[in-house]
Amino acid sequence: MPTAGPARQEPDEEPEFVGVVTARRSEVIPASFTGRITKVHVRASERVSKGRPIATLDDKEIKSQIDGHRAEERSAYAQAGVGGAQAAYAAQRMKAQQRLVDRQAAAPMTVDQARSEFAVGAASSGAAAAQGGVAKARREVLERKLANAEMKSPIDGVVMQVKAIDGQVIQEGNPVARVFDTSDLMIRFALPKHLREKVTVGDRVRLTIENADAPLWATVEHVSAEEPQINFVIVEADIDDSKLRPDEVRVASVGKVRLEKKRVVATANTKGKKS
């Protein structure tokens, strides 16, 4: 009775990995000063052009601070002027007294007194001028921040990660939103460490993304360094988006990534060589 031959083994299916679409370039829009958000002008996933308003901060408090520094600046410079006038008058007296002393018509101490008055006036003028300079510098810093009370998009792109809402108090420097430049898209996915040797820079990967007309291709540009405490590496690949329709693939879209089969498993015939 004939014996059955060994069962034919089907080739292992190439594994798929979950990837997220991102952009090569993005810009964070931070709050220019601490204040209350009066209006958020955009929604997440909305396309914006450069200069489009993203959100507006209440500027009443910062305007009040600017007015206070401006008043302090004027007062300090006025005080500096008074001190300067006193110093100038004392300098004239000092010269006059010195002439009288030279003629033995006045005591030397009168010159010393005038010199002391000059020093006091000059010091007072210098201190007030310095105080005015500090107030001016603070005012100018706040004025630059005030100019950005209406935060605008620095680039053309799509708004994502909107972190502000109307009425919210936000701290200076905290992100309000991020704008992604969608003219150059990438895919980022995690690859298990045991498959690390299957991917090198320059390899191509195939993407399947919802709403895309057909599978897409991307070229691997970066593979993160292996970290002992994690069991995967992060791969970044540039999407060939030259033929995509506008908004066919969106930032933050989730897709399936499959490695291109350009390597074969080593066998006795290939003696470990790769094709």
Q: Picking from 5-9, 111-115, 212-216, which range would have the lowest pLDDT averaged per residue?
A: 5-9
Q: What's the CATH class of domain 26-58+153-180? A: mainly beta
- Reference 168, options 30, 38, 28; nearest CA is 38
* pLDDT band at residue 225 under the 50/70/90 scheme: confident
Q: Is the dihedral of CA 230, 236, 237, 242 positive or negative?
A: positive
pLDDT at position 117 over 80: yes
pLDDT at residue 7 in the model: 52
pLDDT at position 206 over 80: yes
Percent of the chain with pLDDT over 70: 89
| 24 in Cβ contact with 238 (< 8 Å) | yes
pLDDT at position 93 over 60: yes
Question: So where are the chain's domains?
Answer: 16-20+182-259, 26-58+153-180, 61-146
- Burial label, 213 (beta-carbon count in 10 A; 0-12, 13-18, 19+): exposed
pLDDT at residue 273 in the model: 42
pLDDT at residue 247 in the model: 81
Q: Write the pLDDT tens digit of every residue in 23-79.
A: 999 999 999 999 999 999 999 999 999 999 999 999 999 999 999 999 999 999 899
- Cα dihedral: 90, 96, 98, 102 (round 10): -170
DSSP string, 154-219: SSSEEEE-----TT-EE-TT-EEEEEE-TTSEEEEEEEEGGGGGG--TT-EEEEEETT-SS-EEEE
* pLDDT band at residue 141 under the 50/70/90 scheme: very high
pLDDT at residue 270 in the model: 39
Cα three-residue angle 59-38-135, rounded to 5 degrees = 15
pLDDT at residue 2 in the model: 53
Q: What is the Cα–Cα distance from 116 to 94, expressed in whole angstroms? A: 9
| 216: β partners | 207
Across all residues in the chain, what is the average pLDDT? 87
pLDDT at residue 269 in the model: 40
Residue type, 162: V
- Reference 260, options 198, 172, 183, 176; nearest CA is 198
pLDDT at residue 266 in the model: 37
Q: Which residue has the tokens 């709050």?
A: 31
pLDDT at position 275 over 50: no
Give the pLDDT mean for 124-149.
Answer: 93
Q: Write the pLDDT tens digit of every residue in 165-181.
A: 999 999 999 999 999 99
Residue 35, helix vs strand vs coil: strand
pLDDT at position 267 over 50: no
* pLDDT band at residue 4 under the 50/70/90 scheme: low
Q: Which residue has the tokens 């790769």?
A: 274
Query: Which CATH topology does 16-20+182-259 take?
Result: Elongation Factor Tu (Ef-tu); domain 3 (2.40.30)
Residue 222, helix vs strand vs coil: strand
Q: Is the dihedral of CA 41, 47, 52, 54 positive or negative?
A: positive
pLDDT at residue 14 in the model: 72
pLDDT at position 233 over 50: yes
